Amino acid sequence: MAQPTLQIYSAIGFDPQSGTGLSAADFGAQLATAEASGEKRVAVRINSGGGNWAEGQSMYDMLKASALKVDTYCVGLVASAATLPFMAGNKRLIAAHGRLMIHNCASGATGGVADFEVAIEQQKAINGSMAALYASVSGQPVEKCAALMAATTFMDAETAVALGFATGIMPDTQAAQAPPASLPTASLHSYYATLISTADMKNLLIPIFAAAGMLTLTATSSDADMATAVAAAFGEKDKAKKEADDAKAALATATAALAAATEKCAAMDKQMADMEEEEAKAKATAATATIEATVTAAIASGRIVASQKEVYMSLAKADLTSTKAVLDALPARRSVADAITSFSAYAAVLPLTAGGAMAEIQARLASK
């Protein structure tokens, strides 16, 4: 019987939301099957960016407790929590193009100060535990392992062997080339993907497609089916991106229209304010003219004298209707010239009247 092989080709720890990742429980079930096979050794092939520390630690503990001799293989990237099961190997081989990455743990925390303090202490404890584990397997001092973790250290195959994290480099049966030194870290997964076998690539893609609802794909699906699924997945992504871009463009158009409408409303408001100001000025001018005419007419009619003009102008500005009523009620005063003329006319009539009266008196006396 062939040596049993376990594969860790996804995140460490199952994520129920995405439906991806390998839990310690599932890994333990696979290990139990390998132990029941009657073989003496088990191979664990790993290409994982890491995940949950507790799940990775559990995988390490299960491998170390197994009666099987464990050989671990880095066949791409073994990072973060994925280094824990890797370090459990009696023989730890890394592909010539492989990379190991170790760093301090990270986690979220909520609550008050005490909760954050507890979280900090827990992280420190986990970091210390991992540094001690790396040191015990690699032979490096704990302090050096802690420093490598704090610096988030990526190791190529030669460095991993030199530091004792790996015991050797896998035979380069496919003449694979190591990634260029200038290759960005973010591009390493894409590079490693080109080196994975078709079967292994299917095993990587199937849980991803299953999480996306493409449940018809299986390990026996043809390359054409896989290509169609990939095209459909990216087609949905492109469609979503186009919808997002269209929404952004529509928002920009609506924003511009709103700005133009706001500017137009502001111009109309100013125009209305100017018209109201002109109307107010016209009303004020007309009111002043009416007051002037009313008071001037009262002077002309002799109801008031010119020296009283300012007084009545002020009264009229405060209450034109009442002031006009007062002016109309005042008697008209005659000028001196008019008085003289009237007196002269009266005087001319008076003698005639007196003479007539005297003549009538004399005539009555004579008749007696």
Domains of the chain, first to last:
5-103+152-212 (3.90.226.10)
In three-state secondary structure terms, 153 is strand
Cβ-based neighbours of 128, under 8 Å, separated by 6 or more:
146
Mean pLDDT of the 210-234 span: 63
If you ran DSSP here, which 8-state letter would residue 217 be given?
-
If you ran DSSP here, which 8-state letter would residue 334 be given?
P
Q: The whole model's pTM is what? A: 0.49
C-alpha to C-alpha distances, 29 to 1, 35, 286, nearest whole angstrom: 19, 10, 102
CA distance 321 to 297: 15
If you ran DSSP here, which 8-state letter would residue 5 be given?
E
Report pLDDT digits (tens) over 148-169. Answer: 999 999 999 999 999 999 999 9
What is the structure's pLDDT at 346?
A: 47
Task: Name the pLDDT band for 240 (thresholds 50, 70, 90).
Answer: confident
What is the structure's pLDDT at 197?
A: 54
| Apex 98 CA angle, 218 and 142, nearest 5 | 120
Residue 306, pLDDT above cutoff 70: yes
CA distance 196 to 45: 12
Cα 352 to chain centroid distance, Å, stands at: 113
Least confident of 39-48, 54-63, 267-276, 340-349: 340-349
Helix (H) or strand (E) holding 358: helix 336-367
CB 292 within 8 A of CB 324: no
Return phi, psi of residue 282, to 5°: -65, -40
Q: Which residues pair with 46 in a beta bridge?
A: 8, 74
Token pair for 331: 């008697």
Question: 331: closest CA among 303, 298, 368?
Answer: 303
Distance in angstroms between the alpha carbons of the first and the last residue of the chain: 188
Residue 350, pLDDT above cutoff 50: no
Report pLDDT digits (tens) over 61-117. Answer: 999 999 999 999 999 999 999 999 999 999 999 999 999 999 998 887 788 898 888
Report pLDDT digits (tens) over 241-258. Answer: 888 888 999 999 989 999
Residue 273, pLDDT above cutoff 60: yes
